[in-house]
A and B are shown apart, each in its own frame.
Chain A
Amino acid sequence: GIQVEQSPPDLILQEGANSTLRCNFSDSVNNLQWFHQNPWGQLINLFYIPSGTKQNGRLSATTVATERYSLLYISSSQTTDSGVYFCAVLNFGNEKLTFGTGTRLTIIP
């Protein structure tokens, strides 16, 4: 099956810093999503981005489908951004999202 790897696995930043999280996938996909899991375990859908660039406030994401990677940018980090960020992808002709390994982000006040 498709492999999804995220980097870095852990990231510790000071409040106000910017960060870039990466998601690499091993095969062509027709869906890619970014999720944020907060410290209470809730999974929040951030972006649906099979290709191109999207922005939502301090967060933006870019997927280059031909090169099989996606990037999540977080600017001016806040402590509420802490948690684990997952990307998840969907193969063509499939209904099953495959999740990446996650990046644990810790924002220090």
Chain B
Amino acid sequence: SQTIHQWPATLVQPVGSPLSLECTVEGTSNPNLYWYRQAAGRGLQLLFYSVGIGQISSEVPQNLSASRPQDRQFILSSKKLLLSDSGFYLCAWSGGGGVAKSFGDGTRLSIL
């Protein structure tokens, strides 16, 4: 069966520090991968999605970037974090057609 792993679960970082969040999927090949951010008490905003290795689509201009170095690995990064980058980050995968199969457990990021 397919599983999705996301880490770390929580992260506290100072303003201006770099960021790297990782997401991996097991049990499937060539998944579509997504990064979402959820601000406190609000809905999910799509940040990036990828339909294949090295293929990244960005949805909103921001301080973040994404990379897909391997088929089942999706990384969210920043060179210098801002206070506004705080939030709950969720990774998801789908088999195509936009049907989200499952989400990772999320990373709660706090910027100090």
Contact = CB atoms under 8 A, between A and B. Distances in A.
Given A96-B49, A100-B43, A41 B100 contact: no
A35 B90 CA distance: 13
Contacts of B98: 30-31, 90, 94-97
Interface residues of A, number: 22
A97 B102 CA distance: 13
What is the predominant secondary structure among interface residues of chain B facing chain A? strand
Interface centre among B49, B99, B108 (most CB of A within 10 A): B99
A1 B96 CA distance: 20
Contacts of B92: 43
B32 A95 contact: yes
Contact of B51 (A30, A95, A101): A95
Contacts of A83: none
Contacts of B44: 86, 88, 99
A41 B102 CA distance: 13
A31 to B, nearest CB: 5
Contacts of B102: 45
9 contacts: A31-B98, A43-B103, A48-B99, A88-B44, A88-B100, A96-B46, A96-B49, A97-B98, A101-B42
